[in-house]
Homo-oligomer: A and B are copies of this chain.
Amino acid sequence: MAINIEEIQAPIAQEMQDFEEKFRVSMKSKVLLLDKITNYIVKRKGKQLRPMFVFLTAKLCGEINDATFRGAALIELLHTATLVHDDVVDESNYRRGFFSINALWKNKIAVLVGDYLLSKGLLLSVHNGDFKLLEIVSDAVREMSEGELLQLEKARRLDINEEVYFEIIRSKTASLISSCCGVGASSVTTDVDIIKKIRLFGEKVGIAFQIKDDLFDYGNEEIGKPLGIDIKEKKMTLPLIYALNRATWLDKRRIIFIIKNQSHKSKKVNEVIEFVKSSGGIEYTTNKMNHYINEALEILHSFPLSPTRDSLEGLLRYTIERKK
């Protein structure tokens, strides 16, 4: 049974609609160029997973209120800021099917727009005294940048192991989803146990989400992202780490040589992909992903049954069943 995002959104449909308008207003500037770009950003919005996590966890733990909206806007502003900065970082020409801000407007503007969005997010929180929310989100920004830098550091030396892999994906991806859930809960309750529990739920979902993303690199024709892109960027993800750990000395040397020196050749990249597949790297990684999903489910099931809980379960399933 395919998962329908609109169905998942049902318990918070009105809030998601109101949020879109509030978010647009929160980016307004008197500088024309900025307004053009932020309008463009609103148009290319994705599946809105982050605000969905905020509103659903808020509803799971209490009553959605104005702080929930501001929390969701803070996350979107800061996340959009890092996406815009990422457009410079990734040198990617596409994001979500549109040209990236970078390709259209050049690096110069991208960095400044990122800084602008960031400051707008900060001011929104500071003006409303949302300090707990600000703390949660600042922590996520710190973790995300540390995680990405750790990954870059490791990519240079190709010496990554499974433990470091999980440390990287926990900080670069899971910290954001965890902070969405933390912001949702913190906006409606001060119960620290509940907040802690829901953050842990977000972390598990985030880890599974990133594992799924890393699996896409090994074959899914529906995805926009080209196959083998991680290998080309010398990012060692779980399927490859597992396969290398179990490889003969000769195979290991051959694969590492390709990644180091020939990863610009598609044929050679395909050789790595085949090696990983035949070593059982995909099955192992899929099992790991399911393990995290089950842990997340267990936490979720400690909350009473409700349409909101069902929706969060739907989001969990979406994480692993999505086609891109």
Q: Is A123 touching B135 in the complex (CB atoms < 8 A)?
A: yes
Residues on B with C-beta less than 8 A from A114 are 85
Chain A residues 157-208 with CB under 8 Å of chain B are none
Inter-chain CA distance A115–B111, complex, in Å, is 11
Inter-chain CA distance A85–B81, complex, in Å, is 12
Inter-chain CA distance A150–B33, complex, in Å, is 7
The size of the chain A interface, using a CB distance under 8 A, is 44
Residues on B with C-beta less than 8 A from A131 are 126, 129, 131
Q: Is A145 touching B123 in the complex (CB atoms < 8 A)?
A: no
Number of this chain's copies in the complex:
2
Instruction: Confirm or deny: A322 has a beta carbon within 8 angstroms of a beta carbon on chain B.
Output: no
Q: Interface with B: A93-101, A136-144, A220-228, A290-298, which one?
A: A136-144
- Fill in one digit per residue for A88-124: 1 if any B CB lies within 8 Å of its CB, else 0: 1110000000000000000111011111101110110
- Fill in one digit per residue for A31-62: 1 if any B CB lies within 8 Å of its CB, else 0: 11110000000000000000000000000000
Q: Tell me, rounded to whole Å, the shortest Cβ–Cβ distance linking A233 to chain B.
A: 10
Q: Is B109 touching A152 in the complex (CB atoms < 8 A)?
A: yes
Q: Is A111 touching B123 in the complex (CB atoms < 8 A)?
A: no
Inter-chain CA distance A313–B193, complex, in Å, is 54
Instruction: Confirm or deny: A146 has a beta carbon within 8 angstroms of a beta carbon on chain B.
Output: yes
Q: Which residue of B lies closest to A30 (CB)?
A: B146
Q: Tell me, rounded to whole Å, the shortest Cβ–Cβ distance linking A291 to chain B.
A: 26
Instruction: Confirm or deny: A29 has a beta carbon within 8 angstroms of a beta carbon on chain B.
Output: yes
Residues on B with C-beta less than 8 A from A150 are 31, 33
Q: Is A31 touching B149 in the complex (CB atoms < 8 A)?
A: yes
- CB < 8 Å: which of B123, B135, B141 contacts A127? B135
Chain A interface residues toward B at CB < 8 A: 29-34, 82, 85-86, 88-90, 107-109, 111-116, 118-120, 122-123, 126-127, 129, 131, 134-135, 138-139, 141-142, 144-146, 148-150, 152-153
Closest 8 A/B residue pairs (Cβ): A119-B142, A119-B141, A116-B145, A122-B138, A33-B153, A115-B145, A126-B135, A85-B111
